[in-house]
Structure 1
Amino acid sequence: MTLEIAIALGIIALAVILFVSERLSIDTVAILTMVLFMVTGILTPAEGFAGFSNSATLTVAAMFAISSAIFKSGVLSSVGIALTRIGRKNYLLCLLSLMLISGGLSAFINDTAVVALLMPVVIQVSQDIKVSPSKLLIPLSFGALMGGICTLIGTSTNILVSGIAEAQGEESLEMFEFTPAGIWFLLTGILYMFFIGRHLLPNRGVSEDLSESFDMGDYITEIILLPDSPSVDVPLHKSGLVQNLDVEVMQVTRNNERIQVFPSLILHANDILKVRCSVDKLKLLKEEKGILLKSERKFRDRDYRMNDSKLYEAIVTPNSYLEGKSLKTLDFRSYNYGASVLAIRHRNEIIHEKLAHVKLSAGDVLLIAADKFQGEKLKQNDDILIISQTERSSYNYGKIIPVIIISVGVVMAAVLDLMPIVLSAMVGVVLLILFKCIRIAEVYKAIDWKVIFMLAGVLSMGAALEKTGAAKLLADYLIYGVGEYGPHALLSVFFFITFMSTNFMSNNATAALLAPIAIVTAKELGVSVKPFLMAVAYAASLSFMTPMGYQTNTMIYGPGNYRFSDYLKVGTPLNIIYWILASLILPLFFPF
């Protein structure tokens, strides 16, 4: 154990603690780790920043843009239509079709985009066939994860492992090298969900009335602001109604005309305000000076429909700008043209009070009140995903054909070894821009920069492990402990450690840590590195035991009204089955 190794392992241990604790965002931890390696002299600036120019990072960025172009063209709209038709016939057929469709799409398109496309459809289908969304959303996410491991571009983890191998002098992984074993994992997973997993899924019904779904036991009432009210001639967001009583102003009527509600609206005497509040706040409202109450009644979804407004259910997407920020910090109402948040479903808790101060997390579900104009703006907001509406994107025939040709060309160029995948993907993006299938501004917007910075950062961990000899040291420990049982046992250990780790920290960070150790272990044993690399790549993406194990698991957590235990109950047997399966088939597809 040298000083350099001790420093490198210390920095990585700190990174792992921060990854698991989630005190900082994943990309922040990755960049912090990269900087620490350079500051301590473990890596030179050139070595530290090399992750930004790594082929894996550039390929993932290009694939984000290509996936966005496919999504925007409307070519996938027919998938939603087909799934709706199947779902209305039979639940089991819907379950099977859902996993096959999500798995097939995720092999070539970003799995987060696939889940974002299909989630609103699945929720609508569940209502049509009278089945709880909790019976379909886990199969949707799991199917996307299973399909993503079937090709090189199916998940960023596969691309990352290939990039690490190439950086350490090994052959890069080919496009369909993942496919034979990947299909085994996909079919096994589907059979498990069909015969076993579906019986372990919870059955938590969700009311079609969103106000009931969010337990909105509130009252609505109309109040008249009398001339002596302290709220007269005061901006709405600074009035006592909002500041002291925390009531939600749904509508303002002045001189028999409705006025758009926004935070800086100046309230006038004799304004009629329709407000929503709890029973306790209603009592306080009756005692408020300068307020005359009219009739009060229970809040219902129809209260917004009658006022040319709707209730929208939306989730905070992974890596969203909203993560870690409060509605007050975001100035959510002004930012979204007057749309207001009525409730937040955070994990298993539904929050109604002091919403402005709640820090948002990925997977949180927001109940939003908005009129038609505000609703359209919400749908264009990439930081949230509207899941209560199933309006499909229209076909853009001018874009569909070139998008399909270019996307297929990107894959075939890599398969036929005409050019590396990083180059074919970049050429594809350029062609999509030239053929006006996607604008350059949309390319920048489509790229998830948090993922790009995270990839660049975690690549430095692998470089530090390899350069300092820490990877060799850890490999020696593994060989000393398990090596006497042969490479098959070590392969099984790598798969187990990887899928266990990725359930509690970033799958890409897990792959970046273990791939260099896997390479050194194989070399120390004098066997092929390929089976060990593939074990890390597959296991890092097959994460089913926790909602934070993978982005798509986080996305479905709130909409499915799941609990942490649901993932353990359904995902643990599947992960054990995959562990046994991988130990048996990986040496057959990738001989030592």
Structure 2
Amino acid sequence: MTPEIGIVLAIIAAAVALFISERLSIDVVAILIMIAFMVTGILTPAEGLSGFSNSATITVATMFIISSAIFKSGALNNVGVVLTRIGRKNYLLCLLAVMVISGTISAFINDTAVVALLMPIVIQVSRDIKISPAKLLMPLSFGALMGGICTLIGTSTNILVSGIAEAHGLAPIGMFEMTPAGVLFLLTGVAYIFLAGRHLLPSRATAQDLTEEFGMGDYLTEIVLLPGSPSVGMPLRNSGLVQNLDIDVLQVTRDKQYKLKATPYTILRANDVLKVRCDVHKLKKIKDEKGIELKSERKFKERDMRAGNTKLYEAIVPPSSYMVGKSLKELDFRAYNHGATVLAIRHRDEILHEKLTHVKLASGDVLLIAADKEQAQKLRYNEDILIISETERSPYDYSKIIPVLLISAGVVTAAATGQVPIVLSALVGVVLLVVFKCVRAEDLYKTIDWKVIFMLAGVLSMGVALEKTGAAKLLSGLLINSVGVYGPHVLMSVFFFITFMLTNFMSNNATAALLAPIAIVAAEQLGISERPFLMAVTFAASLSFMTPMGYQTNTMIYGPGNYRFSDYLKVGTPLNLLFWLLASLIIPFFFPF
């Protein structure tokens, strides 16, 4: 143990703690790691920043663009139609279809995009056949995760480990090198969910009415503005109702017939009827002071909102959203979306109704939004939010389907033949997408999940620091001395176990970047092939089922499925242990020592 190794291990330990605590976003933690290594002198600036020029980082960025082009072309729309038809016939058949379809598509397209595409359809199907969405959303996420390990481009983790292997002078992972073992994992996982896991899935009743589901009974009402109210004659934004109370005005009814859109500049008049979101109990206590009266004690339902040309929408904040970590006030959400109003926020197990403008949004948060047709259309075009309470999407350009699919197939084929590296074929594919106007050049930056890119660049510095200081050799030596005496099969199994346990609580990419260099050094010290150890890390890093934060898709389904943390443990723990046993048997078979 040298001082340099001590510094590296201390930085990594602090990073792991930050990853698990989720106090900072994963990309920020990754960049802090990189900076810490450079500030302490462990890495030179060139070494620390080398992750940005790494082929894995560039490949992942290009695959985001290609996946987005396929998604936006509408090429996958028929998948939703097929799933809907199957789902309405039989639940068990639907369960199989959800996992097989999500797994198959995720082998070639970013799994987060696949879940975003299929989630609204799955929720709608579950309501049609009158079962809880929780019965299908977890299988959807798990299927996407298992499909991602079937090809090199199935997930960014596979590409990351391939880049790490290449940086150590080893052969990169082939396009379909993981496919035989990956398909076995997928089939085993589908069988587990179908035979046993489905009985462990929660069956919580979900209300058909969104106002009931979000507990809006005491937060939606109508008030009448009395002639003596100090708000009469004022623009809505200057009214004491808005300035001094936690209240949102959704609609103004004037002269009992004219329904006006509530804008900041709407001038309030005596006897206006305001449809509002607020704490009704607090409002009752101060109604005389504000010159208002409650029009009715009746609790509002979703149908009451529709009567005023306003509809309720359930929307989720996806992992790549610009909104993550920001409040509605910072985002100026209502102004940006032409007046669409957030009525409630479901964050993990709790539903928030008050002081919504100050709540910091997190990935997976579900928003209840009131919007008219114009506002709803704006929301559909907003890529930072995903409406999940309906299957209608923004218009697709179907003329782009054939060129997009041909270019994507060309990228895969070129990389699979080994004639060109994946990074080159993917870059050429992106250029062709722009040339054939399948993707606009100005939209390229929007389609890339920059948090993932910065996170990859940051965590790659861990591997460089581990190898440069000898920390990887020290850690691999400890593993070899403790379990290596039982043979490489046991050591490989231990790598798989450590990886899937870590990745359930911190970023899968960070886990892979931490353990892949150690696995390579361990194999070198034993004088055996590095492939089985690397594959153990690669497969295990993407097979995280025990926690909602283990993978982005698990986080995405948490709110819409009304899950609890314990649900992931009940369903995911047996599956992770089953895969641990399976990996111990099949990885040495497909990747001999």
* Residue deviations 1:506-562 (CA, integer Å, cap 9, x gap): 000000000000000000000000000000000000000000000000000000000
Q: Which moved more, 1:350-359 or 1:196-205?
A: 350-359
SS at match of 1:298: coil
Inter-partner Cα distance in structure 2 for 1:188 and 1:238:
61
Alpha carbons 2:380, 2:394 under 8 Å: kept: no
* Residue deviations 1:13-42 (CA, integer Å, cap 9, x gap): 111111111111100010111111111111
* Structure 1 pair 11–233 and aligned structure 2 pair: CA distance change class (3 A): farther
SS at match of 1:273: strand
Displacement of 1:393 in angstroms is 5.8
Q: Over aligned residue pairs, what C-alpha RMSD do you find? A: 1.5
Displacement of 1:270 in angstroms is 4.5
Counterpart in 1 of 2:361? 360
Counterpart in 2 of 1:325? 326
Counterpart in 1 of 2:229? 229
Q: Please tell me the residue identity of whatever aligns with 1:494.
A: F
Inter-partner Cα distance in structure 1 for 2:394 and 2:245:
41
**TM-score, structure 2 normalization:** 0.97
Alpha carbons 2:253, 2:274 under 8 Å: kept: yes
Q: Which moved more, 1:266-275 or 1:78-87?
A: 266-275
Displacement of 1:395 in angstroms is 5.6
* Residue deviations 1:288-335 (CA, integer Å, cap 9, x gap): 342244334211101221111110000111132222222222222112
Counterpart in 2 of 1:468? 469
Inter-partner Cα distance in structure 2 for 1:461 and 1:264:
53
Inter-partner Cα distance in structure 2 for 1:465 and 1:264:
59
Q: How does 1:254-265 map to 2 (within 5 A)?
A: 254=254, 257-265=258-266
Alpha carbons 1:77, 1:392 under 8 Å: kept: no
Counterpart in 2 of 1:503? 504
Unaligned runs of 5+ in 1: none
SS at match of 2:295: strand
Displacement of 1:467 in angstroms is 0.7
Alpha carbons 2:277, 2:343 under 8 Å: kept: no
Counterpart in 1 of 2:85? 85
Task: Check if 1:539 corresponds to 2:523.
Answer: no
Task: Check if 1:148 corresponds to 2:140.
Answer: no
Counterpart in 2 of 1:412? 413
Counterpart in 2 of 1:385? 386
Task: Check if 1:372 corresponds to 2:373.
Answer: yes
SS at match of 2:275: strand
Inter-partner Cα distance in structure 2 for 1:222 and 1:199:
44
Inter-partner Cα distance in structure 1 for 2:476 and 2:261:
65
Counterpart in 2 of 1:158? 158
Displacement of 1:243 in angstroms is 3.8
Inter-partner Cα distance in structure 1 for 2:198 and 2:380:
32
SS at match of 2:383: coil
Counterpart in 1 of 2:397? 396
Counterpart in 2 of 1:454? 455
Q: Please tell me the residue identity of whatever aligns with 2:50.
A: A
Counterpart in 2 of 1:61? 61
Q: Which moved more, 1:156-165 or 1:10-19?
A: 10-19
Q: Which moved more, 1:207-216 or 1:425-434?
A: 207-216
Displacement of 1:213 in angstroms is 1.2
Q: Please tell me the residue identity of whatever aligns with 2:83.
A: L
Alpha carbons 1:245, 1:285 under 8 Å: kept: no
Alpha carbons 1:84, 1:121 under 8 Å: kept: yes
Alpha carbons 2:250, 2:261 under 8 Å: kept: no
Q: Which moved more, 1:31-40 or 1:190-199?
A: 31-40
Q: Please tell me the residue identity of whatever aligns with 2:60.
A: V
Counterpart in 2 of 1:516? 517
Q: How does 1:29-108 map to 2 (within 5 A)?
A: 29-108=29-108
Task: Check if 1:179 corresponds to 2:184.
Answer: no
SS at match of 1:71: helix
Inter-partner Cα distance in structure 2 for 1:215 and 1:122:
23
SS at match of 1:288: helix
Counterpart in 1 of 2:347? 346
Q: Please tell me the residue identity of whatever aligns with 2:154.
A: G
Unaligned runs of 5+ in 2: none
Inter-partner Cα distance in structure 2 for 1:440 and 1:357:
35
SS at match of 1:304: helix
Task: Check if 1:487 corresponds to 2:488.
Answer: yes
Counterpart in 2 of 1:169? 169
Displacement of 1:271 in angstroms is 3.5
Counterpart in 2 of 1:215? 215
Displacement of 1:284 in angstroms is 2.3
Displacement of 1:228 in angstroms is 3.5
Q: Please tell me the residue identity of whatever aligns with 1:130.
A: K
Alpha carbons 1:222, 1:294 under 8 Å: kept: yes
Displacement of 1:416 in angstroms is 1.0
Inter-partner Cα distance in structure 2 for 1:573 and 1:235:
59
SS at match of 1:566: helix
Alpha carbons 2:181, 2:587 under 8 Å: kept: yes
* Residue deviations 1:449-471 (CA, integer Å, cap 9, x gap): 01000000000011110111100
Task: Check if 1:18 corresponds to 2:18.
Answer: yes
Inter-partner Cα distance in structure 2 for 1:540 and 1:365:
27
* Residue deviations 1:545-584 (CA, integer Å, cap 9, x gap): 0000000000000000000000000000000000011011
- What is the number of equivalent residue pairs in this alignment? 592
